[in-house]
Amino acid sequence: MDKLIIQGGHVLQGEVRISGAKNAALPILAGSLLATAPVKITNMPHLRDITTMMELTGGMGVRFVLDDQMGVEVYAEDIQRFEAPYDLVKTMRASILVLGPLLTRFGSARVSFPGGCAIGARPVDLHLKGMEKLGAKITIDNGYIHAKAPNGLRGADISFDTVTVTGTENLIMAATLAKGVTTLHHAAREPEVVDLANYLNTLGAKISGAGTDTIVITGVKELGGGQYSVMPDRIEAGTFLAAAAITRGKIKLKQVAPTTMLQIIHKLTEAGAEIQMDDNTISLDMKGKRPKAIRLSTAPYPGFPTDMQAQMIALNTVADGVGHVVETVFENRFLHVQEMQRMGAQIVLEGNTAIVTGKERLTGAPVMATDLRASASLVLAGLVAEGETVIERIYHIDRGYEVIEEKLSQLGAKIYRDHS
Ligand code: EPZ
């Protein structure tokens, strides 16, 4: 099992290129099942989850041609199988995103029911209720979701009880070929939803309102091909900004979209960072100062993203003052806290609030990654801890961060991957 070994105490300085967004590339790859002509997707991140989605859709008959510039050509005109098997779905919950495209284009889908996950139950009931509203017949047996729509789907009015990102994405894709108009109320407003809608419109879909809480999709007969570039990853970008802030360093991010991460920038400014930005770069400078403790509460976009919660707790562990971090999206997303406590962090959990009393120093320790963003927060803590930190089970981190140790080393971190 690979481990990451970090010698703490080195200030991060320099420039780094941000990759394409994992959480935009995944629904875009799933949506490629709708394309009846070749599609060229660029700025695709090289991540384990992306490979898994290609393996999953490849098993259905999609063919990929990868180029050496993070681009991929997708050929989905000849799909023979409509199944997402358990052995792939259990490694990536986002596999549920193939349900909408398969159902609306082929009238049939068999998707393994995603199990639980470290950060919460993460049910898919809102996905299934929405599909039924569009006329699908859904049964669940042997751990699989069987969805049928032999006469195709019909447009409907759908209102989500809870804001769900992949639920919104799944229903947008299902509605693209449904007969008539579908309106999604209380929809997710995340930039990745907008990226998916822009991609599908490039293929000939008729989607309006993405980025607001009301999205209208007018069904069309079929989608063709086209070319699209995946948006920059706002969470990877935020993670690198937090890494520079926690080490009191100075960093410039290239190929980012600052307008998609204004809450992250606002909170880092509150922590004392000086931040400049233009349309595709962000520069952060701590001027060597210790960060100030911040208070935040996660929320669906445009609120503070839950995927940056763990990273901001890490920042608070060495900040000046007491920080309060409230997690409102997932019910169990504080697994990183006990690992940071092993490094000397002073954190008290009260329900969904982490009260963090900042200390001058953490001490390096062997710790364990539990989920994607928790593992990134342990890297941040390791960068600033005294001595050596060993992070185990880093397969979590490879799901969402492209060669994180290489990018951090370029910035002056002392970090390497132990393949033993
Ligand atoms: C997406 O997950 C992201 N994943 C997550 O990123 C992110 O944390 C999350 O949105 C919230 O922003 C991808 O986009 C691939 P939700 P998703 O449906 O869509 C409840 C990462 O680190 N819910 O918006 O699964 C659910 O339990 C990952 O990259 C239902 O109750 O999240 C949760 O409490 C982690 N029923 C809340 O809604 C449903 O049918 C938000 O979940 C669906 C969701």
Residue 402 confidence class, pLDDT cut points 50, 70, 90: confident
Ligand 1 midpoint to CA 21 (Å)? 15
Ligand 1 midpoint to CA 294 (Å)? 25
Arithmetic mean of pLDDT over the chain: 96
Q: Which of 89, 94, 81 is nearest to 33 (CA)?
A: 81
Q: What is the pLDDT of residue 2?
A: 87
- Ligand 1 contact via 377 beta carbon (within 6 Å): no
**For the segment 295-319, what is each residue's pLDDT rounded down to a tens digit?**
999 999 999 999 999 999 999 999 9
Residue 119 confidence class, pLDDT cut points 50, 70, 90: confident
Residue 370 confidence class, pLDDT cut points 50, 70, 90: confident
**For the segment 240-282, what is each residue's pLDDT rounded down to a tens digit?**
999 999 999 999 999 999 999 999 999 999 999 999 999 999 9
Ligand 1 pocket test, pick from 47, 92, 165, 260 with the greatest ligand atom count within 8 Å of Cβ, gives 165
Ligand 1 midpoint to CA 94 (Å)? 9
- Ligand 1 contact via 95 beta carbon (within 6 Å): no
- Ligand 1 contact via 127 beta carbon (within 6 Å): yes
Question: In this model, does residue 117 exceed pLDDT 80?
Answer: no
Ligand 1 midpoint to CA 164 (Å)? 6
**For the segment 129-184, what is each residue's pLDDT rounded down to a tens digit?**
999 999 999 999 999 999 999 999 999 999 999 999 999 999 999 999 999 999 99
